Amino acid sequence: MQGVRFSSGAASFSLEADAENVLRAITPTLDPNRHKGQAERSKSLLWVCTEERSKSANISSLFWSGNIAVIGGCREYTGAPYFAAISALKIGADLSHVFCTRDAASVIKSYSPELIVHPILEESYSVRDEDKSFILENVLGEVDKWMERFDCLVIGPGLGRDPFLLDCVSKIIKHARQSNVPIVIDGDGLFLITNWLDLVSGYHLAVLTPNVNEYKRLVQKVLSCEVNDEDAREQLLSLAKRIGGVTILRKGKADLISDGETVESVSIYGSPRRCGGQGDILLEGKFLFPSFRLFFCEWLLFVCVNCVAIFLSWARQIVTDENLSISSRNPTMLGCIAGSTLMRKAASLAFENKKRSTLTTDIIECLGRSLQDICPVP
């Protein structure tokens, strides 16, 4: 469906994003000449952005790889980082890494041999005070070895809230920012940045994907008021603006997306089941298109969250001439629209088959078919 936009002051509002068109436009064709982890970008971007945004978007990069990393996974939560990382691969990422605690690593590895798992994070209970600074340095060293190769970091699925762990992750966010690596923040990553907004404030390559609770906490902290569903679009716009133009995907019955300049919504399909982990899928969608780094798109939460990551990276390399109406839009917005669309379509297909017993793994299995329905490959 073609999106309908209207203006309210300086901001532009769209009733419903032209979701499937966006998804089609940013999904790269399968090219037999490309090899794993690298592909030449011959496309240019037309996205008309502020000078500040264009600086942080690093739009001059020439290569993309579809290399995604998830920072998350602790003693309590191993499902969330797994859902996020595997959905990146299912959508089209070349490589998917997970940086998690030692306790979570062997569990996550045992779910899938496809994932590259780094057991480098530590929680307070396993660290002596005198060892903390050494361990922190070690964690940063390990992540930095890879940082330049990542098209996008997904921060927070199943991270937990241990103070030492969150301290390490704050430093990782700072390093990602210095290296202009796009980040999608979800789950406990949102708990972290809600308390330390400076970590993402003003970073235009940051995408936040709050659920109902996470959104409530953000609104209370940043706007010092309660969530107002009557003026949901205006409130989301103000929130994104107040955090310096980050992109926010507010998950719900309709997914609302804003970068502080425009607001769009995706409300197609979906499923009446609310099983834990759907958000994790969405994350990768954002990066669905290789080069989160060049132009990002966020996706389906765990499944969806990772969908955003992939699409975001694909959106950063859109061809201008054929898709003028698409390539002139903020890639983080495009990534979120594509991720949300794919996640919702997959959830709807899964529900058709499994009804009340639909689980996140069923939705992940429907990602490929959903993408095929929208962007068929022969």
Ligand X SMILES: NC(=O)C1=CN([C@@H]2O[C@H](COP(=O)(O)OP(=O)(O)OC[C@H]3O[C@@H](n4cnc5c(N)ncnc54)[C@H](OP(=O)(O)O)[C@@H]3O)[C@@H](O)[C@H]2O)[C@@H](O)CC1
The residue assigned the tokens 């050494």 is: 134
What is the enclosing helix (H) or strand (E) of 313?
Answer: helix 310-315
Q: Is 28 annotated as a binding residue?
A: no
Report in angstroms the alpha-carbon separations of 367 from 1, 151, 284, 285.
Answer: 21, 21, 11, 10
Q: Is 212 annotated as a binding residue?
A: yes
Our separate counts of H helices and E strands in the chain read: 15, 16
Q: Which of these segments, 13-21, 51-59, 247-255, 329-337, binds ligand ATP (CB under 6 A)?
A: 247-255
- Residues 6 or more apart whose CB falls under 8 angstroms from that of 71 comprise 99, 100, 121, 143, 153, 154, 155, 156, 159, 169, 172, 189
Q: Which of these segments, 23-31, 172-180, 211-219, 228-236, binds ligand X (CB under 6 A)?
A: 211-219
**Partner that binds at residue 168, options Mg ion, ligand X, ligand ATP, none, CB closer than 5 to 8 Å by kind:** none
Residue 99 in contact with ligand X, rule: CB under 6 A: no
Nearest alpha-carbon partner for 259 in 276, 243, 278, 246: 246
**Partner that binds at residue 77, options Mg ion, ligand X, ligand ATP, none, CB closer than 5 to 8 Å by kind:** ligand X
Residue 159 in contact with ligand X, rule: CB under 6 A: yes
CB of 31 to ligand ATP, least distance (A): 29
Q: Which two structure tokens, joined as six digits, stand for 101?
A: 């605690």
Residue 345 in contact with ligand ATP, rule: CB under 6 A: no
Q: Which of these segments, 26-34, 72-80, 221-229, 338-346, binds ligand X (CB under 6 A)?
A: 72-80
Residue 276 in contact with ligand ATP, rule: CB under 6 A: yes
Please give the Cα distance from 133 to 274 (Å, whole number). Answer: 41
Q: Which residues does the annotation place in the binding site for (6S)-NADPHX?
A: 158, 211-217, 280
Contact set with ligand X (CB under 6 A): 77, 79-80, 157-159, 161, 187-188, 211, 213-214, 276-277, 279-280, 302
